[in-house]
Structure 1
Amino acid sequence: MPIRPILRFPDPRLRLAAEPVTAFGAPLEALAADLLDTMRAAPGIGITAPHLGILQRLTVLELPGENRLRLYANPRITWSSEEVQDHIEGSVSMPGVTETLQRPARVRVAYQDKDGARQTEEADGLLAICLQHEIDQLDGIFWIQRLSRLKRERVIKRFEKQR
């Protein structure tokens, strides 16, 4: 599968909400394979179709230490814990810069699998962080929008400096 170009910050398409996936099966699996290859080449542990300029609600994750691909079509958070955790985040669309964000420690996500079957999953730890990060992207919320204005400005300056 081809490695596709990744949109880079501040591309305005990174702030657009994605449309629901409606075509399942082979077309979705082909896009997921391209996402996986592109994510690995970036490198990253999560990527969405909007990172490639494709406004569909699809994300793939491949977490360190796991030997499995996680595919989520049309994911949405249906519950999140009041307990929070800090985690260092970044983006394949803004490589080389990271910052600490605070997010709910646990979430429940409803989604569809590669065949369109409805699923529900509860997650904590790194998986919970990644799901929230990628679902934000599908909703048109780029990760730095979750930072304070001061931290956001610092991250942007660091990114511009390294370019």
Structure 2
Amino acid sequence: MSQLTILQFPDPRLRTVARPLDAVDDEIRQLADDMLETMYAARGIGLAATQVDHHVRMLVMDVSDSRDEPQVLINPEIVDRSGSQICEEGCLSVPGEYAEVERAEAIRVRALDRDGQPYELEADGLMAVCIQHEIDHLDGKVFIDYLKPMKRRMIERRMKKQLRQAKREPASQAL
């Protein structure tokens, strides 16, 4: 396994709509493993393939307290939703930024597992938020798209400033 680079907003590749996978093979399973390693290393609870510059409809997540219940959803599709909840969200592609976003409280998702077998999953609370957030990434959306224009512009400016500063800082040299 290896860690992948997480794209940072405002990278335009985050706006790419992911394509469905026709088959689940060893290459896709390896990508899922690498995404899980990347997500755990970044201390996230979910990661969409789009965020690591692979534009296929796959996400990984682990919302367990013990961080030992990894899940892989390939070609996820929300087939039912109910209720409403407001939850403070953050994003590995928009580090350090958090905002309240309204999402469905409960969802039912149809997907393929890491072996290509179809299944359905009912989720509520944090798991429902996580799945909706990651599917948004697969559709080329970022959580700040749900914010009021002024708040969104403030976050966009801060992220662009961080990007400019990172480009100006000299790279450290290994001895």
TM range (shorter): over 0.9
Taking structure 1 as the reference length, what is the TM-score of the superposition?
A: 0.93
Unaligned runs of 5+ in 1: none
Q: For 1:15 and 1:161, locate their aligned partners in 2 and report how far apart those are by CA, in whole Å.
A: 20
Instruction: Work out the number of aligned pairs and report it.
Output: 162
Q: For 1:55 and 1:74, locate their aligned partners in 2 and report how far apart those are by CA, in whole Å.
A: 12
**Is residue 2:87 matched to residue 1:78?**
no
One-letter code aligned to 2:10: P
How is 1:8-157 mapped onto 2 (pairs within 5 angstroms)?
8-66=8-66, 67-81=68-82, 83-157=83-157
- Whose radius of gyration is greater, 1 or 2? 2
Taking structure 2 as the reference length, what is the TM-score of the superposition?
A: 0.87
Q: For 2:109 and 2:150, locate their aligned partners in 1 and report how far apart those are by CA, in whole Å.
A: 31
What is the identity percentage for the equivalent residue pairs of Structure 1 and Structure 2?
Answer: 40
Cα deviation, residue 43, structure 1? 2.2
Cα deviation, residue 160, structure 1? 4.1
One-letter code aligned to 1:6: I
Cα deviation, residue 161, structure 1? 5.0
Residues 10 and 160 of structure 2 are in contact (CA less than 8 Å); yes or no, is this contact kept in structure 1? no
Cα deviation, residue 148, structure 1? 1.6
Residues 98 and 155 of structure 1 are in contact (CA less than 8 Å); yes or no, is this contact kept in structure 2? no
Task: Report the secondary structure of 2:91's partner residue.
Answer: coil
Residues 49 and 57 of structure 1 are in contact (CA less than 8 Å); yes or no, is this contact kept in structure 2? yes
Residues 72 and 112 of structure 1 are in contact (CA less than 8 Å); yes or no, is this contact kept in structure 2? yes
Q: Displaced runs of 4+ in structure 1, greater than 2 A?
A: 154-163
Residues 99 and 155 of structure 1 are in contact (CA less than 8 Å); yes or no, is this contact kept in structure 2? no
Q: For 1:97 and 1:111, locate their aligned partners in 2 and report how far apart those are by CA, in whole Å.
A: 29
- Alpha-carbon RMSD across the aligned residues, in angstroms, is 1.4
Cα deviation, residue 26, structure 1? 2.0
